[in-house]
């Protein structure tokens, strides 16, 4: 929350976005501690709660190197009750514990506790000679980073579009939080070895 405060133990830190090496899988965490460091790095500043997963972003891997095309992504967040509390708290402490990513990939017993979002696929436009996405006039510039996240019934939950050379617009609605939406948007800027 503070531009110049990057201390992991600061109250200004809301959470973390972590990527795999290929840039195809991202995890959104709150500001809790990493369970892997619990015994090795323990002091008063690290005795708080174990971090919770707030979301997972999966980018589809490219089928061949150098291929170009629209990005495909899935995002899942925890379903919440009418008070905004998650139906399941996701805080895996060991590799065997159920995580959002494993639940999403394998559709495990807790799959019904996840809210699954897909990016709306763009359609080919002969006039422009490229794939385009109907963003209802919000985007002023074409970009591979432009996307809309929708439910299976095409309800738009989040929209991220380029509006200038270094400017973007982010629109989000319930049940996604502003922090989750910001993390998803940040993931689109990261370099991705495994996808376009």
The per-residue pLDDT for range 26-55, each reduced to its tens digit, is 999 998 888 776 554 444 455 568 888 999
Mean pLDDT of 119-139: 72
Query: Rounded CA gap, 142 and 119, in Å?
Result: 16
The per-residue pLDDT for range 144-156, each reduced to its tens digit, is 788 899 998 888 8
The torsion of the CA quartet 143, 185, 21, 165, rounded to 10 degrees, works out to: 40
Counts for the chain of helices (H) and strands (E), in that order: 2, 10
Percent pLDDT > 90 in the chain is 21
Cα distances (Å, whole numbers) of residue 6 to 10, 33, 165? 7, 15, 27
Mean pLDDT of 17-25: 88
Mean pLDDT of 174-181: 92
Max Cα-Cα span within the chain: 62
Percent pLDDT > 70 in the chain is 79
Q: Which comes out higher in pLDDT, residue 166 or 123?
A: 166
Is there a contact between 63 and 40 (Cβ–Cβ < 8 Å)? Answer: no
The least confident of 107-121, 167-181, 182-196 is: 182-196
CA Rg value for the chain: 18
Domains in the chain: boundaries: 15-187
Q: For 15-187, CATH number?
A: 3.20.90.10
Is there a contact between 161 and 154 (Cβ–Cβ < 8 Å)? Answer: no
Instruction: Bin 85: left if φ > 0, else alpha if -120 < ψ < 50, else beta.
Output: beta
Is there a contact between 61 and 22 (Cβ–Cβ < 8 Å)? Answer: yes
């Amino acid at each position: 929350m503070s531009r110049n405060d990057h201390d992991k133990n600061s109250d200004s830190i809301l959470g973390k976005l972590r990527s795999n090496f290929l840039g195809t899988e991202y995890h959104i965490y709150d500001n809790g501690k990493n369970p892997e460091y619990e015994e090795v790095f323990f002091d008063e500043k690290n005795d708080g709660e174990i971090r919770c997963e707030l979301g997972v972003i999966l980018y589809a891997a490219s089928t061949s190197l150098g291929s170009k095309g629209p990005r495909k992504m899935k995002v899942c967040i925890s379903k919440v009750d009418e008070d905004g509390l998650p139906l399941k708290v996701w805080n895996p402490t060991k590799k065997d514990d159920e995580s959002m990513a494993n639940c999403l990939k394998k559709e495990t017993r807790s799959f019904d506790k996840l809210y699954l979002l897909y990016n709306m696929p763009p359609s080919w436009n002969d006039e422009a000679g490229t794939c385009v996405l109907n963003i209802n006039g919000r985007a002023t510039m074409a970009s591979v980073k432009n996307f809309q996240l929708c439910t299976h019934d095409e309800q738009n939950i989040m929209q991220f579009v380029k509006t200038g050379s270094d400017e973007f617009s982010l629109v989000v609605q319930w049940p996604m939080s502003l922090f989750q939406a910001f993390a998803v948007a940040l993931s689109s800027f990261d370099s991705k070895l495994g996808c376009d």
